[in-house]
A and B are shown apart, each in its own frame.
Chain A
Amino acid sequence: MSFDNAYESLLGHEDAHWAFGTGFSEALSGVNREFPAGVDRDDLAAYCLMLGDDALIFSQRLSEWCSRAPELEEDIALANIALDLLGQARMLLTRAGEVLGKSEDELAYLRDEREFRNVHLAEIDCGPGPGGDFGTTIARLLVFSTWRLALFSRLRGSADPVLAAVAEKGLKEIAYHRDHAAQWTVRLGDGTDESHRRMQAGLERVWPFVDELFATHAVEARLAGVAVDPASVRSEVDGVLDAVLSAAGLQRPADTKAARVAGMAGRDGVHTEAMGFLLAELQHLHRSLPGAVW
């Protein structure tokens, strides 16, 4: 590329000039997209929405840190994690959309709150808003990525070839997310009195939302061989969290759990008060201009 003309190649469409892909279908190119025999497609779509919404909503939260992180390097790292999760969300929403006859954007922007299937842990405000700080954000990232890593490592064996491929690709990403969170947990737990106190407070803030992660939903129970039963990863997740907290000199919070509402929680589309505001922000522009192309 010549640097004497800033506009060179602006009108051309040679993809070689693009430094990174903005699409994502390449990531799963060559993967068999046929639905496995004997699997209820509506259940498969619901399950893809569960894992996809977890990633989409948590990515939305993490990107709130953009330009607000404690250090430039951390700003970049959190944006990276948000981008990885957004990429996972797009693949999973697209898979759900293949069953439901909808695009990723229709699913992300035109569903109402009760149709979102993400766990509460993904949606609560853990900072930089008033709901937390960097310590709370790291506590959530530690729990979320430890849990998701355990799920994805088993999901690689899913009977659905797309879910298996998403898991295979996502595994490396999430392993980095968990490592990043674990390193910060240790740094903050060990660093100063203030960082220790804040990190412990962050754990206390997110802990009531941990139990929901391991509750088996009816859809997951019906999708044996396709979905991972989250109850099956609990002891592994507990073991990892205990090891990190111990290395950080932090206390595992008491096992308090947030109460369900009429027996329902995020997987059933029943969310916290924070969710409506999050979706209002995420969806308003798309909904304001029906028929627009982006």
Chain B
Amino acid sequence: MADDLELRFERTVQADSRIEPRDWMPDGYRKTLIRQIAQHAHSEIIGMQPEGNWISRAPSLRRKAILLAKVQDEAGHGLYLYSATETLGADREDLTTKLIEGRQKYSSIFNYPTLTFADVGVIGWLVDGAAICNQVPLCRTSYGPYARAMIRICKEESFHQRQGYELLMTMMRGTQQQKDMVQDSVNRWWWPALMMFGPPDSESTNTEQSMAWRIKRDTNDELRQKFVNMSVPQAEALGVTFPDPELKWNEERGQYDFGAPDWDEFWQVVKGGGVCNEQRIAHRRKAHEDGSWVREAAAAHAQKHAQKEGAA
């Protein structure tokens, strides 16, 4: 019996069909998905902070509106994704607890600080750009609710990326101070953006099984290369350079060669040693704890209301 179920699962995955919430699935598949989707949801929620940092100071009302709407979208993405984990039997409250206790991770990129308004544009262009490269293949991932959430998220992320790039284009037409601000921001975010694809394939522990289950569709290094290939012409159009002396077109490979990110820094930040790790979690924890009386009140009111209706 169990063998039949497993066989059907394998066939569904191999045929590139979707696994749906009520279908049988191996425990490992369920756990891997919950871990991955939760980590993605946490990234959206923690990712609200570095950009939210500039809402109050946005230098024009139009940019303020764009930024506020973008950060609001990230909260929405977090919601879709937490909902997708709930179809696998996870619980949002429990996942939030794991996040603020440091038991589940979020994208390490958000542990870097946003120091100027150009960072808002560069996050849109490079960080959202890298996220899209990672996420586009997930629109075809084997778990249905995750794939469908990703289609919607990718559409919105593409829009954010475009807005970020448009901000940078505008700034590059501005004063010298603004141009310098953009280049400085690109210099700070380029390597962390490359690190978003994860460690090199030779050191990645989760890739193989996830590829077999078609949760993941491309390796870290493949996606990183794709991102570099796409970003270089964008940088040229913008008039900025990337801080990598090894970056050059390789005629033979038909791709760009590029240097290796500082993986020691990557692991240091992943393990909690980034500039903002503690701050990001403390912020999230405070919001969650400060809001507990409100959530309790809403639940108590709903319960009283239900009782009244039941009595009537």
Q: A residues bordering B, Cβ < 8 Å?
A: 1, 3-7, 9-11, 17-20, 22-23, 56, 60, 63-64, 66-76, 79-80, 82-83, 86-87, 89-90, 93, 104-105, 108-109, 128, 133-134, 186-188, 190-192, 194-195, 198, 281-282, 284-286, 289, 291-294
Q: Which 8 pairs of residues, A with B, have the shortest CB-CB distance?
A: A70-B291, A191-B297, A195-B297, A70-B294, A6-B132, A79-B72, A294-B60, A67-B48
Assess whether B234 is in contact with A66, with CB atoms less than 8 Å apart: no
B290 contact from A75, A108, A133, A192, Cβ within 8 A: A133
- Are A18 and B159 in touch, CB under 8 angstroms? yes
> Assuming the A-B contacts A293-B174, A293-B178, are A72 and B56 also in contact, with contact meaning beta carbons closer than 8 angstroms in the complex?
no
Q: Given the complex of chains A and B, what is the CA–CA distance between A170 and B49 in angstroms?
A: 29
The answer to whether B230 touches A7, judged by C-beta atoms less than 8 angstroms apart, is yes
Q: Which residues of A contact B75 (CB under 8 A)?
A: 67, 72, 75-76, 79
Shortest distance between the CB of A25 and any CB in chain B (Å): 11
Please, which residue of chain B has its CB at the minimum distance from the CB of A289? Answer: B177
With a CB–CB cut-off of 8 A, which chain B residues contact A19? 155-156, 159
Cβ-defined contact, B287 with A69, below 8 A: yes
**Which chain B residues border A187 with CB–CB below 8 Å?**
297-298, 301
On chain A, the residues within 8 Å of B154 by CB distance are 3
B139 surroundings in chain A (CB, below 8 A): 3
User: Chain B, 139-182, contact with A by CB distance < 8 Å: what is the 0/1 string?
Assistant: 10000000000010011101101110101001101110110000
Give the chain B neighbours of A20 by CB distance below 8 A: 69
Majority DSSP secondary structure for residues of A touching B: helix
Chain B interface secondary structure, helix, strand, loop or mixed? helix
Q: Which of A69, A90, A281 contacts B56 (CB 8 A)?
A: A281
In B277-310, the 8 Å CB interface with A consists of 283-284, 286-287, 290-301, 304
Q: How far is the CA of A90 from the CA of B112 in the complex (A)?
A: 33
Task: Find residues 68-126 in chain B having any chain A CB closer than 8 Å to their own CB.
Answer: 68-69, 71-72, 75-76, 78-79, 82, 117
> In the complex, what distance in Å separates the CA atom of A188 from the CA atom of B55?
28
Contact A6 B45 (CB under 8 A): no
- Given A67-B283, A83-B69, A282-B57, does the pair A76, B297 have CB atoms closer than 8 Å? no
Cα distance A282–B297 in the bound complex, in angstroms? 34
For residue B62, which residues in chain A have a CB less than 8 angstroms away from its CB? 22-23, 90, 294
Q: A19-B156, A187-B301 are in contact. Are A109 and B59 (CB under 8 A)?
A: yes
Does residue B63 face the partner (Cβ distance < 8 Å to A)?
yes
Give 22 A-B contacts (CB < 8 Å), ordered by A residue: A6-B230, A9-B158, A10-B162, A11-B237, A17-B162, A22-B62, A22-B65, A60-B56, A63-B64, A67-B71, A68-B287, A75-B75, A87-B65, A90-B61, A90-B65, A134-B290, A188-B294, A191-B301, A286-B59, A292-B59, A292-B174, A294-B60
